[in-house]
Amino acid sequence: MRRPDLIASDVDGTLLNPMERVTPRTVDTVTRAVDDGVPVVLVTGRPPRWIPPVADATGLTGYAVCSNGSIVYDIDADRVRHVHGLLDPVLLNDVADALDTALPGCRLAAERIGATAVDPDRHNFVIESEYSNPWGDGEGFVVPRAEVVGHPAVKLLVSHTRMDSDEMALAACSVLDGVVDITFSSGSGLIELAAHGVTKATGLEQVAGELGVDAENTVSFGDMPNDLDMLRWSGHGVAVANAHPVVLDAADEVTATNHEDGVAQVLERWF
């Protein structure tokens, strides 16, 4: 691939090292790309409120695609520019009932969105009792399930302490295939549900269109199943070596691990 006109990167497990930091080598490479006029877009399952620490560490001020494509966030302005595919309460209740059949004992959480990264007028993240967060950050307001599924959400998260994410996704797809999109960014018993047709690829495609860049001239990086559509959409999709097996199989190229600055190793060809 010739020098790309757009760079898109997943965050956790890809751009960040295993200590969840951006290394100096990666920062230097990203900075050179931006200084050379090539936008770098963060494309992540993270909500907007989890973007500023990464943006600050990398010096990025442009767009971030958040919540697996549901949100386009303007980092510098701290504004949500676009929201796609809100899950309405009727659908959320139907999905919750189906999940109780497919994944007995599962627990739910919902990601909501306001105009800015943190909306003081709402709880951005609500969880039901015993919801298990694999990141262990203690985030979330505990509410009854009726409250979790009672308001529009950009993403429904489902946890199970006795299953891994691959098992959960397979079981959930058996009852929800075509109803919502099911993916995951952690293997530790957590799956993520979005409106059908909303993926990292759709969010990135919108940003690329606004920037006047097509898929062919985009390079993207990822490590988990929620990155698959983005890697396939891009002209050159790169998996880090620590990626999930299905991502390694789908990528155009496999670079070094996130511990070895895999993203930087590829970008240094051009910048």
Amino acid 134: pLDDT: 79
Amino acid 11: pLDDT: 98
The set of residues, in sequence order, having a beta carbon less than 8 Å from that of 204 and lying 6+ positions away, is 8, 41, 43, 65, 69, 218, 220, 230, 233, 234
Averaged confidence pLDDT in the chain? 95
Q: Are 253 and 222 in contact (CB under 8 A)?
A: no
Count of beta carbons in the 10 Å neighbourhood of residue 114: 15
pLDDT above 80 (res 73) = yes
The residue-averaged pLDDT of 59-65 equals 97
- The pLDDT tens digits for 162-178 are 999 999 999 999 999 99
Domains of the chain: 6-83+199-267 (3.40.50.1000), 89-195 (3.30.1240.10)
Band (pLDDT 50/70/90 cuts) for residue 254 is: very high
Write the CA distances from 215 to 6, 66, 132, integer angstroms. Answer: 9, 19, 37
Count of beta carbons in the 10 Å neighbourhood of residue 174: 11
Write the CA distances from 120 to 27, 82, 117, 194, 237, integer angstroms. Answer: 32, 19, 10, 24, 38
What is the C-alpha to C-alpha distance for residues 142 and 62, in angstroms, rounded to an integer?
Answer: 33
Band (pLDDT 50/70/90 cuts) for residue 120 is: low
Which string of DSSP letters, residue by residue, matches 42-77?
EE-SS-GGGSHHHHHHHT--SEEEEGGGTEEEETTT
Tokens 């919750």 appear where?
96
- In degrees and rounded to multiples of 5, residue 30 shows phi and psi of -60, -40
pLDDT above 90 (res 116) = no
Residues in the chain: 271
- In degrees and rounded to multiples of 5, residue 170 shows phi and psi of -65, -45
pTM > 0.85: yes or no: yes
The residue-averaged pLDDT of 193-215 equals 97
SS3 content of the chain, % helix, strand, coil (to 5): 35, 25, 40
Mapping DSSP to helix (H, G, I), strand (E, B) and coil, where does residue 166 land? helix
Q: Which pairs count as long-range contacts for 29-37, CB under 8 Å and 24+ apart, including other chains?
A: 29/263, 29/264, 29/267, 29/268, 29/271, 30/58, 30/59, 30/60, 30/264, 30/267, 31/58, 31/59, 32/271, 33/7, 33/267, 33/270, 33/271, 34/59, 34/60, 36/271
Least confident of 105-114, 135-144, 174-183: 135-144
